[in-house]
Amino acid sequence: MGMGLGMDETFDAGFFVRWLEAAASAVDREAGRLTELDSAIGDADHGANLKRGFAAVAELLAEEPPATPGAVLVSAGRQLISTVGGASGPLYGTLLRRTGKALGEDRRVGRERLAEAFAVGVAAVSQLGGAQVGDKTMLDALTPAAEALRTSFGAARTAAEEGALATVPLQARKGRASYLGERSIGHQDPGATSSALLFAELAETARAEGAA
């Protein structure tokens, strides 16, 4: 940690492209597990959905790399909306698109700035899907992660992971798992799990570049 980089270290568009590429690899690697989780309380497609979407994101970013962090996220969000479908497509798409929009046109952004933007994106997800923390959705990982990102990338990763784990004892009130009623208890939410994966890759990308 530290590695000689100060509080006011900033990240350019390339950093976000590398993150999303890492996310695409991670989703590809973990697709089976995500689908398995979705099979228990959903319809067994979450892994396939995100794999398709993030592969399309990686491809798009490789072809037409945007110039700013905000543009990277907006473009990735749009691509998710256009390629994922299901519940997670519009939700993750909105998360990235609104986070990106909140970043504006700056060519470099710092972690705290990013945390604020993420909070905007997470709020948009909550508004779009009508879910709150505790409903056993991706928001259970996203909300604490965005909050913890104010502290560090590592804290965000941990918060997302803990948030995902914390969905296990919950009863789902939104999305497909809500049909299960009490039977949804005891299973980890697939969307919260993929959210944790995204924040893990964000932390990894930051660590590889010497940031915390």
Partner 1 sequence: MKMLINVPETVVADALRGMAAAHPELTVDVERGMVVRRDAPVAGKVALVSGGGSGHEPLHAGFVGPGMLSAACPGAVFTSPVPDQMVRAAAAVDSGAGVLFVIKNYTGDVLNFEMAAELAEDEGVQVAKVLVDDDVAVTDSLYTAGRRGTGGTLFVEKIAGAAAEEGAPLERVEAIARRVSARCRSFGVALSACTTPAKGSPTFELPEGELELGVGIHGEPGRERRGMMTSREIADYAVDAVVEDLRPSGPVLALVNGMGGTPLLELYGFNAEVQRVLSERGIPVARTLVGNYVTSLDMAGCSVTLCEVDEELLRLWDAPVRTPALRWGR
Shortest reach from residue 47's CB to ligand ADP, in Å? 8
Shortest reach from residue 67's CB to partner 1, in Å? 24
Shortest reach from residue 196's CB to ligand ADP, in Å? 11
Q: Is 20 in the site for partner 1 (CB under 8 A)?
A: no
- Residue 12's DSSP bridge partners are 108
Q: Is 148 in the site for ligand ADP (CB under 6 A)?
A: no
Work out what residue 178 binds among Mg ion, partner 1, ligand ADP, none; the CB cut-off runs from 5 to 8 Å by kind. partner 1
CB–CB of 50/83 below 8 Å?
A: no
What does the block give as tokens for 34?
């995500």
Q: Is 45 in the site for partner 1 (CB under 8 A)?
A: yes
Q: Which residue has tokens 């994966």?
A: 197
Could you give the string, one character per residue 7-46, with x where binding to Mg ion holds by CB under 5 A and - elsewhere? -------------------------------x---xx-xx
How many C-beta neighbours within 10 Å does residue 4 have? 6
Q: At what angle do helices 46-63 and 13-41 cross, to 10 degrees?
A: 160
- Closest of 93, 17, 18, 19 to residue 49, by C-alpha: 93
b/e map 42-65, b = 16+ CB within 10 Å: beebbbbbbbbbbbbbbebbeeee
Within 42-61, the residues that bind Mg ion by CB under 5 A are 42-43, 45-46
Binding-site ranges for partner 1 (CB under 8 A)? 35-36, 39, 42-45, 47-49, 52, 81-91, 128-129, 171, 173-176, 178-181, 183
